[in-house]
Chain A
Amino acid sequence: MAKILGIDLGTTNSAIAIVEGGEPKILENHEGNRTTPSVVAMSKTNERLAGLLAKRQSVVNPKNTIFSVKRLIGRKFSDEEVQRDKAWLPYEIKESASGGVEVKMGDRWYKPEEISAMVLAKLKADAEAKTGEKIEEAVITVPAYFDDSQRQATKNAGEIAGLKVRRIINEPTAAALAYGLNRQKNEKIIVYDFGGGTFDISILEVGDDVVEVKGTGGDTHLGGDDFDKKIIQYLVEEYKKTEGIDISKDPLALQRLKEAAERAKHELSTAFDTEINLPYITSDASGPKHFILKMTRAKLEELVADDIKHSIDLTKKALDEVGLKPADINEVVLVGGQTRMPAIVDAVKKFFGKDPHKGINPDEVVAAGAAVQAGIFQGDVKDILLLDVTPLSLGLETFGGVFTPLIEKNTTVPTSKSQIFSTAADNQTSVEIHILQGERSMAADNKTLGRFILDGIPPASRGIPQVEVIFDIDANGILSVSAKDKASGKTQSVRIEASTQLSKEEIEKLKNEATAHAEEDKKKKDLAEAKNIAEQTLYLAEKTLREMGDKVSAEIKDNVNKKIEELKSVKDGQDVEAVKSKTSELSLELQKIGQSMYNKNEGQEGGQKDNQEPQQNP
């Protein structure tokens, strides 16, 4: 079935997302970017452009490049806002016959919704190209303060673009949805949205599956772009001071400076200082001039301190208007690229006394939330098969009481895993399969699900037999464990019905225990492993002495025997280091046996060096 597109139709930039596998996913546009400028233009060659292409030609075609049309959509021409924006917007704006707004692009007048429809049509086409599916429906977001007329106009824009608008939702609500906050009951949420060109504050209250907007506030002419302008202004002034040249007059220099300012702003979100280095920025009579300046985070914060303070004042005002105090707010959500700035995060945190949500990319969180809403609509159709995961690891006990997991926790079921095991002693003819569940390192600390014995294994040295153990969980969570001896083909199996029927509390308890005991468990496991190696080395040493004892000197034999005794005495203790050191001492002595036999052979057989193996020669 066709996907419903989630659209964040922004003032300066827009973003689109769909739900895939239950998770919102931002779609890249045709140009390969995750956001698209909300700009439309009629080029000088009478071509209609939308997005980045329109933006690229805006400098040379300002009268026919329409941006920020969201400031005009659904408004009356006589609105104070429209009159204010009309003064600075470079394109022509007039009153329509019905008292609304019209803008001129090329030789025609358009309603703002027609312009927005062109942006939406591009987003729709890009989404179709990306998903390879036809997109017919959408969820579009608008600011919480939009009135009915603005909402209706936005909806109309969607319809003009060929989209059935399933719902218009508020941007802050979308952000809260993206964080899953709609599931919280009776909570008050504040959404602090510092975008490129606008600053919006929204206070939401979550009731029974309903998100209600309690209040709004903000400044429609405050945004990250103002920060950029302040940085550029500072850089231009500094340069004038040191070099006496005004580089703001040179379009290329200004362009390079703009990019450098933006880059510096981004870098200062993670670093404390950055260097702006623009060689050959300009030239004068004395020759070429360079631009080099170190900018600190403190300097940036100083430049924009007033703006940040202003945003907090506006937040306070919005709260006052609905009679709330900062302490009444349960959740704080940050939206908009500028909220990556640590000074903003700190200011918000200080004001509310709690950490804001900021895990999701703040440029994309609104589109992601719109997609979540679209997913809820899609969910009406039973299309998704829900698959469970195993809450805890499943495995078996291996030599030394160690728990060896076969199926790790959080594996999606149905699934099947197999592993080959062997025997721990010579001529062992049966193995016990002890099935366990849990996260602890030692078998004894985990929950036993069942055990069975596979016998009839043909006698052989330890480590030779191959026993394949298969763990299989079906879609109902039923675990089947089987063991098969590869030599005899003998098989044993068991079905465990209750493996995943632990209560939520039990699972949590087991997981917590695992974390609490992680350190101690690691020690136990290390000890068990050291003991395993010790056992193996002892086995090898005794076997070697038995088979080759008569071929080496009594001195070497005595030394090996001595080391064997020493290792045996510490092997069953708790001192890992002692076990490890005695094991390596024994292996060193053992090597002497090989060496002495090699020397002996060399003495006996003189020249035939090439054929000699150091370890043995019957």
Chain B
Amino acid sequence: MIEDVSKNSNNEELSKCQKERDEYLDGWKRAKAELINYKKDENKRFETMMKFSNEALIRDLINVLDSFDLALAALERDGKAEKGLYLIRSQMEDILKASGLERIMISVGEPFDPSLQEAIASVESDKPSNIIVEEVERGYMLYGKLLRPARVKVAK
């Protein structure tokens, strides 16, 4: 009798230990996996951080590109646009391109797409409704992320 009891309690203890062992081993593996995954995530985060670390600066510099566009348009009207100015503009855009900036190409006559464009006015036009009538400000992406939508006028 006595032996039986002790055997039972030994068995119980053993299975309790085994259960605990499994639980702890699982916890340990999870902790290790979590660390490895965290490191992977951290690397990814770091890569995106590197890519987008200039985002705020580039966003501000887009305003300078806009001013160039406006200046060139104004000078063109008076026939005073000099080639050098175009070159300075493209020099700057090239530098920004090397850092991942990309212009959103749109053409008049395409339907308006709010995922890449922002409508700033709707105007009377001979074109059908919801068609782009004019691009008033260029839009830009940074490594595929929309930095600024193109500003367009859309037919009523």
Contacts and interface: CB of A to CB of B under 8 A. Distances in A.
A60 B127 CA distance: 15
B71 A279 contact: yes
Contacts of B109: none
Interface residues of B, number: 30
Contacts of B97: none
A54 interface: yes
Nearest to B73: A280
A287 B121 CA distance: 24
B72 to A, nearest CB: 9
Q: Which residue among B67, B114, B121, B146 has the maximum number of chain A CB atoms within 10 Å of its CB?
A: B114
* Chain A interface, DSSP helix/strand/loop, else mixed: mixed
Interface stretch (B2-10, B11-19, B87-95, B129-137): B129-137
B74 interface: yes
Given A32-B145, A279-B67, A287-B78, A56 B119 contact: yes
B114 A252 contact: no
A44 B129 contact: yes
Contacts of A56: 114, 117-119, 149
Q: Which residue among A49, A56, A252, A288 has the maximum number of chain B CB atoms within 10 Å of its CB?
A: A56
Nearest to A259: B63
A53 B115 CA distance: 6
Given A53-B115, A59-B122, A45 B151 contact: no
Given A31-B146, A44-B129, A252 B74 contact: no
B121 A60 contact: yes
Nearest to B64: A279
B119 A252 contact: no
B111 interface: yes
Contact of A287 (B27, B74, B117): B74
A479 to B, nearest CB: 21
Contact of A57 (B70, B78, B119): B119
Interface string A280-298: 1001000110000000000
Given A255-B151, A280-B70, A60 B122 contact: yes
B108 interface: no
Interface string B116-156: 01111110000001100000110000000110010101101
A385 interface: yes
Interface in B39-70: 66-67, 70
Q: Which residue among A54, A255, A385 has the maximum number of chain B CB atoms within 10 Å of its CB?
A: A255
Contacts of B136: 251-252
B40 to A, nearest CB: 13
B74 A59 contact: no
B71 A252 contact: no
A428 interface: no
A45 B27 contact: no
Interface string A249-285: 0011001100000000000000000000011100100
A280 B63 CA distance: 12
A43 interface: yes
Contacts of B114: 43, 49, 53-54, 56-57
B44 to A, nearest CB: 13
A355 to B, nearest CB: 29
Contact of B120 (A44, A252, A385): A252
Contacts of B73: 280
Q: Which residue among A31, A58, A60, A279 has the maximum number of chain B CB atoms within 10 Å of its CB?
A: A60
A466 to B, nearest CB: 30
Contact of B112 (A60, A287, A288, A385): A60
16 contacts: A32-B145, A44-B129, A44-B130, A53-B115, A56-B119, A59-B121, A59-B122, A60-B119, A251-B120, A251-B136, A251-B153, A252-B120, A255-B137, A279-B67, A280-B67, A385-B31
Interface of B: 27, 31, 66-67, 70-71, 73-74, 78, 111-112, 114-115, 117-122, 129-130, 136-137, 145-146, 149, 151, 153-154, 156
Given A43-B114, A279-B67, A280-B67, 17 more contacts: A32-B145, A43-B130, A44-B112, A53-B114, A53-B115, A54-B114, A59-B121, A60-B112, A60-B154, A251-B136, A252-B137, A255-B137, A256-B66, A279-B70, A280-B71, A287-B74, A288-B74
In the A-B complex, the 4 residue pairs with the closest CB atoms:
A280-B70, A60-B122, A44-B130, A60-B119
